Amino acid sequence: LKNVFPDLGLQIITLSDLECDYINARSCCSKLNKWVVPEVIGHAVVTVLMLISLHWFIFLLNLPVATWNIYRYIMVPSGNMGVFDPTEIHNRGQLKSHMKEAMIKLGFHLLCFFMYLYSMILALIND
């Protein structure tokens, strides 16, 4: 019910992703990597909260995204400097795929935002 706020944070991250085409790869990646763990944790908490409050539909909607986030975090090779690696980000269209991913997530969170808003209003009316 009160889960709108972490989402705003997530959207800021994804937006910062979009801008990063213009800055030094090193600073861009360190900026982005800082937000990877909060994003994973935030999303996992939201998902678990949904499960606890028995919002089945929203839980199932969030589950794949949360799993993808965790998978991505775990699968980072040991020598890399996080999900975003400055030495590789310009190679093999990685930048493009990161952008694509960020856009998809942005869409997803926008969708979720309206759903949360709707359910919050619904809950307020019911009260």
d(CA 4, CA 46): 10
d(CA 98, CA 84): 9
Among 4, 9, 18, 24, binds other proteins (CB under 8 A): 24
90 makes contact with other proteins (CB under 8 A): yes
97 makes contact with other proteins (CB under 8 A): no
Give the x-and-dash track for 47-86 against other proteins (CB under 8 A).
------------------------------xxxxx----x
124 makes contact with other proteins (CB under 8 A): no
Question: At what angle are helices 94-126 and 56-74 packed, to 10 degrees?
Answer: 150
d(CA 52, CA 57): 12
Q: Is 20 helix (H, G, I), strand (E, B) or coil?
A: helix
Among 8, 41, 64, 87, binds other proteins (CB under 8 A): 87
Residue numbers of the site for other proteins (CB under 8 A)? 21-26, 77-81, 86-87, 89-93, 95
